[in-house]
A = this chain, B = another copy of it.
Amino acid sequence: MVELVGSVNLDTIRAAHERIRPHIHRTSVLTNSWLNDACRASLFFKCENFQKVGAFKSRGATNAVFTLDDEIARGGVATHSSGNHGAAVARAAKLRGIPAHIVMPSNSAKVKIRAVQSYGAQVVFCEPTEKAREIKCAEVINQTGAVLIHSFENEHVITGQGTAAMELLEDISGLDVIMCPVGGGGLLAGTAIAAKSMRPQIKVIAVEPQNADDAAQSFRAGRRLVTEKKFTIADGLRTNIGEPNFAIVQQYVDDIVIVSEEAIVLAMRTIWETMKIVIEPSAAVPYAAIAERISDVERKRVGIILTGGNVDLDALPWSSSRDR
């Protein structure tokens, strides 16, 4: 764990950026005067919803796949994912010309299954539990000799995710705060190391759904807790924070705050309406903390990583809440 913490640093993040640059977008940073007025701050949104496969996950997955030695790479890669990481690994493997095996829960959204298949990856279905995913993925690895690209407990994934914050701090000067959501903690760990290394005085604030607040509870307790979870609309953030991720978070993150489901849906809708961009619920979580005045950002320059834009347009949270 300590080794992993050490191996993610600004040098490795910069090297990762060079490595993945041909394969990813340097995404836009958008601002919105209405939102700035509403919260009396200057918000800078790093639009990873515009990233390849529609999410920051492309960064970490591409870095991890392209870091592999040729010999190991030839055996292929495997992961388990119901969402963006699976598509990102599949795409990176296709770019490198190696096989990919993606274990997906049998109840995954069809559009996500098709996305993975469109990159030529082999999809292996399993029961929709965390345990079943891990077991099936281990089986696949045993059978195929593929190497695991875990979605967040992987130093090269964390390093790759850190390139989003690196670009944001390169493009926007004088940030007082940087905010991102936390699920497994891959993005948060990379973001925190990149941001604190480039600008030590910056505050790194993570935001988590109240219904899946293991990272916030762990942060307060000073040790990693595995907590009971309720359903959250922020489907990218349902997982527990990883062990190496938590070690980095303890060292580099200033605070983890929580937001309600209602606040997430309202924040998502506000961003769609004012900024005219499509973001997924998980991406709305940091702005929810600002809109609800849980994080005080008045008169500050705030970088926010919008994590992704993959949503089911037939099941938007406001239309389903209207139907209920």
Q: Which residues of A contact B (CB under 8 A)?
A: 28, 30, 47, 49-50, 54, 269, 272-273, 275-279, 309, 313-314, 316, 318-319, 322
Contacts and interface: CB of A to CB of B under 8 A. Distances in A.
A309 B276 contact: yes
Contacts of A318: 313-314
Given A314-B322, A318-B313, A318-B314, A276 B276 contact: no
A313 B272 contact: yes
A54 B32 CA distance: 11
12 contacts: A28-B28, A49-B276, A50-B275, A272-B278, A273-B278, A276-B277, A276-B278, A276-B309, A277-B277, A277-B278, A313-B316, A313-B318
B276 A279 contact: yes
Given A28-B28, A278-B278, A319-B319, A273 B50 contact: no
Contact of A50 (B269, B276, B319): B276
A314 B269 CA distance: 10
A106 B318 CA distance: 26
Given A278-B278, A319-B319, A273 B313 contact: yes
Contacts of A279: 276
A276 B28 CA distance: 13
A-B pairs with lowest CB-CB distance, top 8 = A276-B309, A276-B278, A49-B276, A319-B319, A272-B278, A277-B277, A50-B276, A276-B277
